[in-house]
Amino acid sequence: MHFEARIEPLGGKLPKVTYRWDPETDILTVACKGVPKGNGMDGTVDLEGGDGSFVVIDVAGGALRGIDVVTWPEDVRTLASLAAPEASKEGQVTFPNRRSQPDVAAVELDTSLTVDKNQAESVFHICVGRKRAATVVRVADHMLVEIDKQHRIAGLWLLDVPPFPNVEATA
C-alpha cells in the first residue's frame, strides 16, 4: 500500500528531539518538540514488518511529531561505522488527509523493516522497505527522514540516542 509523505518548508526553528527508553518493554519513544501546526491527518502511521517488528509514526495536524519503535526487528545489525548522511535540506514531513478516507486516524502499512546501529548504539537507521534512492531531510535536531521519488518514507535516522538504561533485576 502506498501512503504519501510530503516534504514541506520548515516555517520556523528546527524542532528539538527528546528520547525516552522504556526499560521494561525496550520501546524507544522519540518526541519532536516545536513542530509547526499544519493541516492534515491526525493519528498514526503504523509500519509493520514481516517479522513482527513495529514502528509507529505519530502525526498531528499532518506533521510528523514523533516515533515509537515498539517492537525491534529480529536482526538489528551493529556496524563498525554508521555515519548519518548529509541532509539536503531542513524541512518537515507532512501526511495529507486522504480524500477517500478523511476521518481515518490510523494507517497500517505492511513492509520490511531493518535496523542498523553503530557500536555505541547512539545512531540508528531504520530502513523502510527495500533500500532505494531518497532525499534526506533534517526534520529535527537529531532526526533525519528519507523520502523516495514516489513520496514514501524510505528511512528514519535517529541521532545522538542516549544509552538504554542499565536496570538491575530485583528478586
Residue 163 lies in a domain: no
* C-beta atoms surrounding 27 within 10 Å: 16
Pairwise CA distance, residues 68 & 43, whole Å: 13
Residue 165 lies in a domain: no
Residue 36 lies in a domain: yes
Contact 76, 135 (CB under 8 A): no
Residue 109's nearest CA partner among 150, 56, 149 is: 56
The boundaries of the domain holding residue 85 are 6-96+108-158
Query: What is the per-residue pLDDT for 72?
Result: 94
Contact 148, 2 (CB under 8 A): no
Contact 148, 37 (CB under 8 A): no
How many domains are contained in the chain?
Answer: 1
Query: What is the per-residue pLDDT for 169?
Result: 52
Query: What is the per-residue pLDDT for 3?
Result: 73
Pairwise CA distance, residues 69 & 53, whole Å: 8
Query: What is the per-residue pLDDT for 1?
Result: 45
Pairwise CA distance, residues 12 & 90, whole Å: 10
Pairwise CA distance, residues 54 & 129, whole Å: 13
What is the pTM for the complete model shown? 0.90
Query: What is the per-residue pLDDT for 16?
Result: 97
Residue 90 lies in a domain: yes
pLDDT averaged over 10-residue windows placed end to end, the chain, 171 residues:
80 93 95 85 90 94 93 93 94 76 74 95 96 95 96 96 76 49
Query: What is the per-residue pLDDT for 167?
Result: 57
Query: What is the per-residue pLDDT for 102?
Result: 57
Angle at 132 between CA 88 and CA 4, to 5 degrees: 75
Query: What is the per-residue pLDDT for 120?
Result: 94
Helix or strand or coil: residue 46?
strand
Residue 171 lies in a domain: no
Residue 41 lies in a domain: yes
Query: What is the per-residue pLDDT for 23?
Result: 92
Residue 14 lies in a domain: yes
Residue 166 lies in a domain: no
